Chains A and B, each alone.
Chain A
């Protein structure tokens, strides 16, 4: 939209451009969303007569592998943004492509994990632990999927903006990257809570 100030340049008082403030606000609301779910986990677990140790039901090595995958993708998404800062579109495409591939790897592994649970008739309705496990990881999976859609758009058709407005495009990757870090961060809380405790 023409005419709206601070879409690209920083606001002199707040030090950020509009979208960066916007995404931080959005992430604040996401913290409240997952915060409510983690509170639910704590309340249900404190009130439960018995609670299984996560590793007795879930596969810790696979979870660890997925954690590494997501952490790596957090690095590559920063590299993608840094490449744009260094005006190197090809390197950006490489690193953003890697980020998307890593995210897809995460989801595929997660799908196999879900499949293994279903094979042993470990459905959400079986116990409160499985219920909260599927709800938390499912909602996180949806966030990963959302990230893949956004990042793929910026990797493919959205990258045309590099020709017309490179600075704004770089900002967009920064904002998308902030969201992606948040998705990783949620998993870094989810993994120990569900798999290790």
Chain B
């Protein structure tokens, strides 16, 4: 085995103060951890907002026991939630989960930590930009949190901030825009950095078709962030002008609010906001899912001990997905008056985009064929991702056809559909990635028993939450009702599911306790492991645990593809990329 890439001694650890090393850090691994810790905290916070909403949906109008009074008279007088507060929780749950939870974890944390290691680079191409990127994200998060305390509370017009509602909303909406501008700038700097790093800093011999699939996923994701986010920034500027300078970009003539005609110049277009918003937000869906696909590919390849089936097909599919994701956005808008011709176009593109997703999923399923698999917790989460994402994807097809979307639009069916992709999909991929790469960060494995206690209840609860939502949605229950549908005759037959879903959601919270215990316990007491505990082939496993500043004492050279497991005639059942002879 060649040792050219492996070294026991950290290469000259520079003497940095605590502030430079851990707070204003430029090392990609420290920044990755910063993103990871902040992202997980925001994920938990967003989860708590949802649990509050679930109380109101299950028991409308009843005071929330024990903690209800803590939220103050303006939000929950006597512990009973006001509709305004419910709307804030809904809007901020979406915003926080997408922009402050999932994206920072899958791109900011794992992208930062793993990508430079996997391509054999000493760091990101622009370390200082990387730091700026994190602190923009941090500022955006703080602004979003502060917005709960301004008069009128946080943004309450949904995470989509549809106009004209958002134009006339309280101060919280202005805070939302400012927060989003910070988050967008953070993503832009990050995207520039990822693309430049992956194109320029690949180690010798690391051709594009030798890149691990996770790196490909991050590269395509970075392009989506780079090109899709600016239109939302433009839309945010226009909405800010509407709110602060009283322009009418999104306000049509003759608008009447609470019986009073608005004193505006008019002539604006509410539909324009939807176009600009979804031009970002549909590629954003792929920002949430592509890195997750990359992560589970790494985990699955490692645990099936044989090459991934159809690696090249997967790469071409993900590139195609990236291109196509820019021309499907208006399938979110069939119920607006944009016209049937445009609807027909976007139906066609939407059906086409399902093909590359199916290719990737099929390749992963076929990879399992005939493998002698290992089943550590990380693999369980990765395997669970496949059917969960499958359900999420397939239930999206009726939403992509305008005929069936007329019935399903804005019902709980939509909620169930995209949560299947993001919650038991992407979040399970995040769990898989945490269990998989934990040894690289800490030098210790996570506990397997606690891991399994975490996995099985999580899987069951996720399905208990979202399957009933399909039933409610098909019955026509709207997703934005403060009373969960109690006021509607057609919802009566499926109302009892509200209590069931809420209890499943709270049980899901309990199921995360073993995970939290596991993280802290394993950091100090977990089984100590060597630098390549899983017998993996990619370059991040060629560095010590944790990798020192600069990662590799001398830059590695790559001789083979990313998933050479069980190569006939090889000494071991894995042949690392940096190994020259079999």
Contacts and interface: CB of A to CB of B under 8 A. Distances in A.
Contact of A25 (B191, B238, B249): B191
Contact of B125 (A18, A32, A127, A134): A18
A158 interface: no
A44 B272 contact: yes
A85 interface: no
**Quick one: which of A29, A124, A139 has the most chain B CB within 10 A?**
A29
A40 B246 contact: no
Interface string B545-581: 0000010000100000000000000000000000000
A1 B127 contact: yes
B188 A29 contact: yes
B21 to A, nearest CB: 14
A134 B245 contact: yes
Interface residues of B, number: 45
A153 to B, nearest CB: 14
A22 B234 contact: no
B264 interface: yes
A134 B238 CA distance: 11
Contacts, number: 130
Contact of B237 (A3, A22, A135): A135
Contacts of A37: 234, 237-238
B199 interface: yes
B472 interface: no
A33 B231 contact: yes
B200 A128 contact: no
A161 to B, nearest CB: 14
Contacts of B268: 44, 128
Interface in A103-122: none
Interface stretch (A4-12, A68-76, A163-171): A4-12
A44 B201 contact: no
B30 to A, nearest CB: 14
A33 B233 contact: yes
A25 B246 contact: no
B267 A48 contact: yes
B265 interface: yes
Contact of B188 (A5, A26, A49): A26
B126 to A, nearest CB: 6
B123 A4 contact: yes
Contacts of A34: 234
B269 interface: yes
A21 B200 contact: yes
Given A14-B200, A22-B125, A25-B196, A131 B241 contact: yes
A25 B227 CA distance: 9
B193 interface: yes
Contacts of A132: 249
Contact of A44 (B129, B230, B267): B267
Interface in A37-91: 37, 40, 43-44, 47-49
Given A4-B125, A128-B265, A134-B245, A25 B272 contact: no
Interface in B318-367: none
Contacts of A128: 247-249, 265, 267-268
B267 A49 contact: yes
Contacts of A14: 199-200
B515 interface: no
Contacts of B265: 125-128, 131
B299 to A, nearest CB: 29
Contact of B247 (A29, A30, A124): A124
A197 interface: no
A125 B247 contact: yes
Given A21-B199, A36-B231, A128-B267, A29 B238 contact: no
B26 A1 contact: yes
B145 interface: no
A182 to B, nearest CB: 13
Interface residues of A, number: 39
Contacts of A11: 199-200
Interface string B415-427: 0000000000000
B125 A29 contact: no
A1 B127 CA distance: 8
Nearest to A132: B249
A50 to B, nearest CB: 9
Contacts of B201: 4-6, 18
B245 A125 contact: yes
Given A1-B123, A14-B200, A125-B246, A22 B188 contact: no
B314 interface: no
B57 interface: no
**Quick one: which of A26, A123, A134 has the most chain B CB within 10 A?**
A26
B261 to A, nearest CB: 15
A49 B129 CA distance: 46
A36 B230 contact: yes
Contacts of B231: 32-33, 35-36
Nearest to B193: A22
Contacts of A131: 241, 245, 247-249, 265
Contacts of A123: 245
Contacts of B127: 1, 4
Interface string B241-282: 100011111000000000000001101110010001001000
A22 B233 CA distance: 20
A1 B551 CA distance: 14
A135 B238 contact: yes
Contacts of A26: 188, 192
A1 B124 CA distance: 10
Contacts of B249: 40, 44, 128, 131-132, 135
A128 B252 CA distance: 11
Contacts of A1: 26, 123, 127-128
A135 B247 contact: yes
B464 interface: no
**Quick one: which of B230, B241, B279 has the most chain A CB within 10 A?**
B230
B318 to A, nearest CB: 19
A11 B129 CA distance: 20
B123 A135 contact: no
Nearest to B231: A36
B131 to A, nearest CB: 11
13 contacts: A3-B122, A3-B550, A18-B125, A21-B199, A22-B126, A25-B195, A33-B230, A34-B234, A37-B237, A44-B249, A124-B247, A127-B265, A128-B268
Interface of A: 1, 3-6, 11, 14, 18-19, 21-22, 25-26, 28-30, 32-37, 40, 43-44, 47-49, 123-128, 131-132, 134-135, 139
Given A18-B125, A44-B269, A131-B245, 20 more contacts: A1-B123, A1-B127, A1-B128, A4-B201, A18-B200, A19-B126, A21-B195, A22-B129, A22-B196, A32-B230, A32-B231, A35-B231, A37-B234, A40-B249, A44-B267, A44-B272, A47-B267, A125-B248, A128-B248, A128-B267
